Amino acid sequence: MKPSKRIFLFLFVSILSVLIVCPTLLAAEKEIKIGVILPLSGALAPIGKSLKEGAELAADIVNKKYPDLDISIAKWEGIPNLGGAKIKLIFADHRGDPGWGADQAKRLIEDEKVIGLIGCYNSAVTKTASVEAERAGIPFINPDSTSPALTKRELKWFWRVTPHETWFTADLFNLLDGLIAGKAPGVKAISKKDLEPLAVAGENTEWGAASILEIEKFAKEKGWKISESIKYPHKAADLTSEARRMIASKSPTFLFAPYVADAILFIKTLKEMKAAPHMIWGQDAGFVEADFYKTLGADVNGILTRDLFSPELSKVKPVAGKINEMYKKMTGYDFSGSSARDFVGVQVWAHALNNAKSTNPKAIQKALNELNLPAKELIMPWKGVKFGSPFPGDTQQNELGSGVINQYQGYPDGKLHIIYPFEFATSKMIYPFPGWK
């Protein structure tokens, strides 16, 4: 054999040996496709847009290099352990329809050949779409749905990043108890009779019904009276009778679980009826979206909402402030708790892929089950991301999450201020609700 042929054969065998020993190099992909199922049309299109933007910003930070950001993904320029492969998000619109959402999940898996999914904000759609992922045996990461039932199904391919309603409802009742004990910043102790009975209204979806159920459960456990517990149709065209019932209940505390269109309609209707509650609290969702405060303007002042993010976090977490400014520059508005969670959803995907060193579903499954992402990596006020069973029956639920309760103050010039946890409050609480002019 000629020397040139021997050299060629030697090089060929050497390269082949490396690829056999390191299959990741052989399988290294230029793009890693992840399906993202969101409400991109219909009544929830505004929030779907913000969720999409949060996910896109995270993917951009993973795929490029941002040396000024003090989180790991900003240094990577692609997934390091997959040869710098870039994340490509494939978006699908579920229209707020559980059946259509399941169809979109199936399409993304079978036609788009995505390696996994993110979604779907609406708990009812997440419920059906995640079943398709379970059937296909591919990972489904849920950053933004909060019905407690979702992590009580013992699914093997479903991981929830966000805290769920049990956490958030506990926060609400801790706030109420704190007001009685005089713990709220800037507010003297309040008599319980000035806060109860409670009037609750939520839409009749998976998420809305779960929110009402959790409030009723905690109220019973903690000895709070409820005068009204109203379920109304999703995408309601008129909420006059529901608003009238809440006012007639003579409750000083109004609690809501609506999406954005219903949240706006409720506040407009209550204002027209000259309602005068002492406190208004929203279960996130519609109460934190840009359309809510942009449409209502100064009428949001004094309204409380449970949340997961506030621009005020920049005071204690500089990286949250920097990334929020990037998001604001891109969109024209701040992160909401929802859009910030979808940012984290993509971030979790990136870390899982890097730890798995593969796009093989079983390898990603193992990486997610073993994931322990520290607080310093996150823009959220959480202790981290680690999947476990924080409440009875939970499986593959992030056990290190937490919520905040914010209050609109001084809008349009002011921002949402953290009121609870009391030790992290960034402003004095406005109480009672100042009403509408």
Average pLDDT value over all residues in the chain: 91
The percent of residues in the chain predicted with pLDDT above 70, rounded, is 93
Query: Amino acid identity, residue 137?
Result: G
Q: Report residue 54's pLDDT band, with 50, 70 and 90 as the boundaries.
A: very high
Quick: pLDDT tens for 273-316: 999 999 999 987 788 888 899 899 999 999 999 888 888 888 87
3.40.50.2300, 3.40.190.10, 3.30.565.10, 3.30.70.3000: which CATH number matches 32-164+316-398?
3.40.50.2300
The percent of residues in the chain predicted with pLDDT above 90, rounded, is 73
Using DSSP bridges, classify how beta strands 384-385 and 373-374 pair: parallel, antiparallel or unpaired. Answer: antiparallel
Residue 24 pLDDT exceeds 80? no
Residue 330 pLDDT exceeds 90? yes
Domains 32-164+316-398 and 166-312+403-424 share a fold: yes
Residue 10 pLDDT exceeds 90? no
Element (H, E) at 304: strand 304-307
Residue 266 pLDDT exceeds 80? yes
- Give the three-class secondary structure for 113: coil
Residue 133 pLDDT exceeds 50? yes
Give the CATH fold of the 166-312+403-424 domain.
Answer: Rossmann fold (3.40.50)
Q: Are 246 and 217 in contact (CB under 8 A)?
A: no
- Residue that the structure tokens 């002011």 belong to: 414
Tally helices (H) and strands (E) across the chain. Answer: 14, 16
Q: Report residue 215's pLDDT band, with 50, 70 and 90 as the boundaries.
A: very high
- Residue that the structure tokens 């290190």 belong to: 400
DSSP annotation of 7 reads H
Helix pair angle (337-356, 318-331), 10° resolution: 110
Residues listed for the chain: 437
Residue ranges covered by each domain of the chain = 32-164+316-398, 166-312+403-424
* CA angle (222 as vertex; 218, 223 as ends), nearest 5: 115
Q: In this structure, what token pair is assigned to residue 59?
A: 């993917």
- Residue that the structure tokens 């499954």 belong to: 365
Per-residue HEC secondary structure of 180-249 comes to HHCCCCCCCCCCHHHCCCEEEEEECCHHHHHHHHHHHHHHHHHCCCEEEEEEECCCCCCCHHHHHHHHHC
Quick: pLDDT tens for 346-384: 999 999 999 999 999 999 999 999 999 999 999 998 889
pLDDT in the model for residue 1: 54
List residues bridging with 418 in a β-sheet.
406
Quick: pLDDT tens for 79-129: 999 999 999 999 999 999 999 999 999 999 999 999 999 999 999 999 999
Residue 77 pLDDT exceeds 90? yes
pLDDT in the model for residue 26: 36
List residues bridging with 382 in a β-sheet.
none
Quick: pLDDT tens for 399-428: 999 888 999 998 887 778 989 988 878 889
Average pLDDT over residues 330-337: 91
Residue 199 pLDDT exceeds 60? yes
